[in-house]
């Protein structure tokens, strides 16, 4: 993205935000703007559409939604800045790592190798155990979590096949921006670096990195298989994707609409988790059948688990979140 394009997006978004503020203040007809990196077929976009539907059904006033797709309003680093400032974007689905700038503890909720399986993941997200992290995000970033989507199993995607710890050693790969992501992958001998998501394709194509990690839906949706056709089943994470709203916007909403938004967030999150977790294997198989990816099991995955536990423990201790980590593990 050029500096000019980025400036144009930010300037245009700021102008749009002023119109939104006026709309909320009038309380006659309210328009809320959302953002998605993906098209209508992606689970995150479908989850946001479900959120909009639920709010509309449960609120008696006039409400409209303006959901911008395909990264029109930037990438997630832009989204979180806009949400924190209360401009341009009112609701979105975000990766916790992209909110770490404002709330350093929040990446704990989806750090690699945290969840044993889908049942553990779903129980943790439904239990309220993440409340301390939600409170930190609200306090430090003015961003409110209203539900949890996600459910894709994350694996390595690379230009060359990776089958074991020897292949992984020194592997140059993109990770999300939170420090814990780099710490975890360094612990399992990879060579991680934080690169903007919209630069990953070109970075692999030009050899700056050799791969990255992601779930099947995003690999398929953005055609990453063209440059990283080798999928290694490390199964190192199950995505946690909070549905968030800008608190500055939320505070301006009528009380009845606030209630509708909170209820819709919980329900849409459950919808999104079921949707993405059920689609994950299906999308992987579609790419396999199309000859777009080659899948390799990672030999000795249990060794990776032993290597990362001390890193997880140290990270939680540094944040004063040891009890929280233990609570998540105990779910």
How many domains does one find in the chain? Answer: 1
- Look at residue 130 and give its three-state secondary structure: coil
Residue range(s) defining the domain that contains residue 82: 3-330
φ, ψ at 245 (rounded to 5°): -130, 150
pLDDT of residue 313: 97
Q: Beta-strand (E) ranges in 78-222?
A: 91-93, 143-158, 172-175, 191-194, 211-214
**For residue range 45-79, what is the model confidence (pLDDT) as tens digits?**
999 999 999 999 999 999 999 999 999 999 999 99
Distance CA 85, CA 79 (A): 10
Q: How far apart are CA 207 and CA 83, in angstroms?
A: 34
Phi-psi region of 42 (alpha: psi -120 to 50; beta: other; left: phi over 0): beta
Cβ-based neighbours of 105, under 8 Å, separated by 6 or more: 132, 133, 136, 319, 321
What pTM does this model have?
0.83
Specify whether the CB–CB gap between 63 and 32 falls below 8 A: yes
Dihedral sign (CA 137, 138, 143, 147): positive
Above pLDDT 90, what percent of the chain? 87
pLDDT confidence of residue 7: 34
Q: 169: which 2 tokens?
A: 């050693």
* Whole-number pLDDT of residue 233: 96
Question: What angle is formed at CA 125 by the lines to CA 119 and CA 127, rounded to 5 degrees?
Answer: 95
How many whole angstroms separate alpha carbon 96 and alpha carbon 105?
9
Confidence of residue 4 (pLDDT cuts 50, 70, 90): very low
φ and ψ at 241, to 5 degrees?
A: -130, 95
Burial class (CB in 10 A: 0-12, 13-18, 19+), 262: middle
CATH of the domain at 272: 3.40.190.170
């Amino acid at each position: 993205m050029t500096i000019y394009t980025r400036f144009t997006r930010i300037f245009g978004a700021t102008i749009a935000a002023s119109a939104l503020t006026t709309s909320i203040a009038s309380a006659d007809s309210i328009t809320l703007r959302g953002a998605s990196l993906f098209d209508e077929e992606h689970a995150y976009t479908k989850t946001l559409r479900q959120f909009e539907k639920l709010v509309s059904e449960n609120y008696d006033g006039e409400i409209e939604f303006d959901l911008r797709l395909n990264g029109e309003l930037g990438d997630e680093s832009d989204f979180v800045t806009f949400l924190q400032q209360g401009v341009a974007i009112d609701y979105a689905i975000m990766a916790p790592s992209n909110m770490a700038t404002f709330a350093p503890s929040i990446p704990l909720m989806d750090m690699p190798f945290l969840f044993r399986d889908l049942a553990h993941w779903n129980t943790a997200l439904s239990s309220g155990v993440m409340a301390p992290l939600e409170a930190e995000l609200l306090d430090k970033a003015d961003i409110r979590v209203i539900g949890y989507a996600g459910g894709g199993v994350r694996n390595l995607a690379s230009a060359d096949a990776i089958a074991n710890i020897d292949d992984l050693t020194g592997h140059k790969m993109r990770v999300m921006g939170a420090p814990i992501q780099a710490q975890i992958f360094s612990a399992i001998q990879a060579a991680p670096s934080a690169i903007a998501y919209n630069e990953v394709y070109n970075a692999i194509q030009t050899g700056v990195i050799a791969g990255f990690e992601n779930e099947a839906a995003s690999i398929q949706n953005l055609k990453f298989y063209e440059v990283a056709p080798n999928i290694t089943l490390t199964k190192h994470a199950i995505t946690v994707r909070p549905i968030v709203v800008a608190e500055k916007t939320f505070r301006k909403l009528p009380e009845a609409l606030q209630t509708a938004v909170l209820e819709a967030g919980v329900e849409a999150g459950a919808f999104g988790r079921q949707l993405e977790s059920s689609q994950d294997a299906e999308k992987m198989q579609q790419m396999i059948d199309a000859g777009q990816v080659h899948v390799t099991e990672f030999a000795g995955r249990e060794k990776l688990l032993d290597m990362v536990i001390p890193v997880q423990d140290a990270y939680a201790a540094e944040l004063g979140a040891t009890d929280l980590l233990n609570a998540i593990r105990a779910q």
